[in-house]
Amino acid sequence: MPVNSKNVVGVDVGGTFTDFAHWDGAQLRTDKVGTTSEQSHAIVAGLASFEPELLLHGTTVATNALLQRKGGRTLLVTDRGFEDLIEIGRQVRPSLYDSNADRATALVSRHHRLGWGSKEKLVSQIESLAPEAVAVALLNSFADPASEQAILGAITDRFPTLSVSISSEINPEFREYERIATTVLNAYLQPVVARYLRALDERLGGRILVMRSSGGLTSISGATSLAASILLSGPAGGVVAAAACGRAHGWARVISFDMGGTSTDVSRIENGDPQMAGERTLDGLVCRMPSVAIHTIGAGGGSIGWADRGGILQVGPHSAGAVPGPASYGRGGEEPTVTDANLIVGRLGSDTELAAGTKLNSQLAQQAMAGLGAKLGLEPLAAATGMLEIVNTHMEGALRRVTIEEGADPRSAALMAFGGAGGLHATSVARALGMSAVLIPPHAGVFSALGLLLSPQRQDVVQTVRLRADLSDLDHTLAQLEERATREMEVSLGASPSVLTSSIDARYRGQSHETNVSYQRGAGAERLRADFTAAHRLRNGFSLDGHEVEVVTLRVAATAPASLTWNDLAFRPEPGEPRRGVRVSPDGSEMTRWWRPALREGSTVEGPALIEEAEATTFLDRSETAQVLGDGTLEITWS
């Protein structure tokens, strides 16, 4: 399925707004509408003005189903005696010093777990329990999938419409707990994802590609069969776009900073490539699928300020969401949010029109903040300022997580800030970590939707191999995996890959953890050992010279070209005077106001200032300067 249509739209569904980026082959148009409880309603409403030939979709349907525990009723079939493995898990406590913290409840209840014995018992169990999905995960299926294939055949012969996930197809890697847990997660999400995507396809009557957590697009059938692979569907688009913008400006290290209405997502990009993870934990549950290494915290424009039992000010992680939204939206919200705090301190104004025609009511924001301030013994302005300082501290911690805690120095990085609220907080967070600059890309308020247009079609395959000694079979095994990736992409997407990228999970023999390193077929064992040694030293602070290296798992990503490249986006400033007056903040200081679409290449703006656009606002404090680069990106530095 080619994506080089001249009439394509990227749609990213967020917790508060649904974003649209339309490409007609020459020009980009954008829009925002309020997110609806049934995501497709907002999508259909927003698409009315575009009528695309192809829809590229970033969705939170799988994430919401997991967080709300509204997946399908699932039956687990595994080896007899191992039915409780998904509940036992690894003996790692969710909170080391909190004895009251419990692990997440397993997605499959005890009486929905079956130890494999016979076809007759399996059929009887399915008939009596009437599951919506079945997860089949046997201990050694990563090495020999024959038994799982036989069980699959037994189920589909008797129940042809039942969703079945088998671990040898979902995640053919060793370590049985993670593989079983991922297969269960996939089966649990499949019914919800399938219903949503099929209904959307029927309503739109056109071609749809869905964003995966890996930063690549897949078909509806691909997203349905690997439902767990779209858990980070939306945020991945923003990281892809941040990588493209960072490459265009020559930054070796970029930290993407996506602050929306509900959450903030951060990720590290090295030499133009997002950092990838083969495994992550979502709401306490293991998901072993290729994904962009995104760290998410509950800090967004809709995050609510509240007083804990000790009378201490807290912010988030709960959010006002799209409904009722911040108090200043005038939709019934009564609790103060970060958006309300920005309005009270003057970074937003009652004359500011947000996306979807939303206007802010400062009186409602003051009332909500006064209620919080009364609990804290603070005036509304002091409470609002405190909320902003706290949420900035939360986001600073998230940036430390993806930089310092992973051995990467943030001082050599630029912060790529986007999302509706990203520009209001970016410089405060970046300066706290001693970062070099902040970049605010064009179309920052709909950047994740734009990222969908910049995303390739992608097919990931993985296989545990356990190679030792001279690694003589490495290239032969990798060639087989590349052939499999090519074949699966052709079947799923109807496209042939233009690029095959491979990497290897390797370790010193005797270790219980692996380090992922890039490897291209033919590079040789010595090159692999050298790259592994360097990566191990960077990540762990040491290497073991002369120690045998073991190749554990091979990974291949097949990709085909995206709808457009960063260089296709033309920067066309609109006519008119960019300066739009002055706003006086409550403390009496003045902030000049600028209309970003009218700023031309080479223009500079000195803080304190507000740079406004249709979907976002950027705040410049004193001693901060923004310069407009050739593609419209704002580069902010400070003295």
Each residue of 23-40: pLDDT tens digit? 998 899 998 888 888 888
Last residue of a domain, one of 170, 193, 216: 193
User: Would 2 be classed as within a structural domain?
Assistant: no
Beta bridge pairs of residue 416: 256, 439
Q: Report how far residue 368's alpha carbon sits from residue 322's, in angstroms, rounded to the nearest whole number.
A: 17
Q: What is the pTM of this model?
A: 0.92
Tell me, yes or no, whether 488 lies in a domain. yes
Buried b (16+ CB within 10 A) or exposed e, 118-156: eeeebeebbeeeebbbbbbbbbebbeebebbeebbebbe
Residue 117 lies in a domain: yes
Overall residue count recorded for the chain in this entry: 639
Q: Distance (Å, rounded) from C-alpha 417 to C-alpha 444?
A: 8
Residues 549 and 477 in one domain: yes
Greatest mean pLDDT range, 321-330, 400-409, 630-639: 630-639
503-531 pLDDT, tens digit per residue, is: 999 999 989 899 999 999 989 888 999 99
Q: Which two tokens stand for residue 517?
A: 């390193």
Range scoring the smallest mean pLDDT among 316-320, 333-337, 355-359, 487-491: 355-359
- C-alpha closest to that of 445 among 565, 567, 356, 317: 356
Say what the pLDDT of residue 1 is. 47
Instruction: Name the band, by pLDDT with cuts 50, 70 and 90, for residue 163.
Output: very high
Average pLDDT, the chain: 92
Looking at the structure of the chain, the number of domains it has is 3
Residues with Cβ within 8 Å of residue 418, at least 6 apart in sequence: 238, 241, 242, 256, 257, 258, 259, 440, 441, 444, 445, 447, 448, 616
How far apart CA 242 and CA 257 sit, in angstroms, is 9
d(CA 302, CA 296): 15
Does pLDDT of 318 surpass 60?
Answer: yes
Q: Give the pLDDT confidence score for residue 356 in this predicted structure.
A: 63
Mapped to the 3 state alphabet, what secondary structure does 246-257 carry? HHHCCCCEEEEE
Domain that holds residue 522: 457-560
Q: pLDDT at position 222, please? A: 94
Proportion of the chain above pLDDT 70, given as a percent: 99
**Residue 18 three-state SS:** strand
Residues 73 and 187 in one domain: yes
Question: Quick one: average pLDDT of 186-199?
Answer: 96
Measure the CA–CA gap between 76 and 187, rounded to whole angstroms.
Answer: 9
Are both 534 and 586 inside the same structural domain? Answer: no
Is residue 598 situated within a structural domain? yes
Phi/psi at 573 (nearest 5 deg)? -60, 145
Give the range among 5-19, 89-103, 581-595 with minimum mean pLDDT: 89-103
Three-state SS at 529: helix
DSSP 41-101: HHHHHHHTTT--SEEEEE--HHHHHHHTT----EEEEE-TT-TTHHHH--S--SSTT-TT-
Q: For residue 235, which of 297, 174, 181, 176 has the smallest C-alpha distance? A: 297
From 31-40, 82-91, 195-204, 369-378, the region with the lowest mean pLDDT: 31-40
Are both 535 and 491 inside the same structural domain? yes
Question: Do both 493 and 553 map to the same domain?
Answer: yes
Token pair of 536 as six digits? 């191990």
Which CATH number do you get for residue 140? 3.40.50
Asked if 54 and 34 touch (Cβ cutoff 8 Å), the reply is no
Q: Are residues 477 and 520 in the same domain?
A: yes
Q: Coil, strand or helix: which one is 468?
A: coil
Residue 3, pLDDT > 60, answer no
CATH at 527: 3.30.1490
Pair 265, 480: CB distance under 8 Å? no
- Say whether both 76 and 158 belong to one domain: yes
Report strand pairing: 133-136 vs 113-115. Answer: unpaired
Structure tokens, 444: 């920052």
On whether both 521 and 623 belong to a single domain, the answer is no
Cα–Cα distance measured from residue 294 to residue 63, given in angstroms and rounded to the nearest whole number = 14
* Domain match, 625 and 529 both: no
Which residue, 157, 216, 173, 213, is CA-closest to 189?
213
4 confidence band (pLDDT: 50, 70, 90): low
In a domain, 200, yes or no: no
Same domain, 171 and 93: yes
324 part of a folded domain: no
Per-residue b/e over 317-335, b at no fewer than 16 CB within 10 Å?
Answer: eebbbbeebbbbbbeebeb
Which of the listed residues 517, 533, 560 is the one where a domain comes to its end? 560
Q: Which residue has the tokens 């069980």?
A: 151
Bigger pLDDT: 187 or 545?
187
For range 307-322, the mean pLDDT = 90
Edge-to-edge strand list for the sheet holding 579-584: 579-584, 590-595, 609-612, 617-620
CA torsion sign for 405, 411, 413, 416 is positive
Q: What confidence score (pLDDT) does residue 355 get?
A: 64
DSSP 595: E
Mark whether 492 and 592 lie in a shared domain. no
Residues 6+ apart with CB under 8 A from 432: 392, 396
Counting Cα atoms < 13 Å in the Cβ hemisphere of 99 gives: 0
2 has a pLDDT exceeding 80: no
Strands 74-78 and 113-115: parallel
- Report if residue 313 sits inside a domain: no
State the greatest distance between any 2 C-alpha atoms of the chain, in Å, as a whole number: 79
Domain boundary among 500, 533, 560: 560
What pLDDT does residue 472 have? 73
pLDDT higher for 34 or 227? 227
Report d(CA 61, CA 71) in Å as an integer: 10
pLDDT in tens, 420-465: 899 999 999 999 999 999 999 999 999 999 999 999 999 999 999 8
Alpha carbon distance 288, 278 (integer Å): 6
d(CA 452, CA 454): 5
Q: What is the mean pLDDT of residues 197-221?
A: 91
In a domain, 543, yes or no: yes
Same domain, 71 and 187: yes
Residue range 243-259: mean pLDDT, rounded: 96
- 251-271: average pLDDT: 94
Q: pLDDT grade, residue 469 (50/70/90)?
A: low
Phi, psi of 231 (to 5 degrees): -65, -30
What tokens appear for 608 in the block? 């304190």
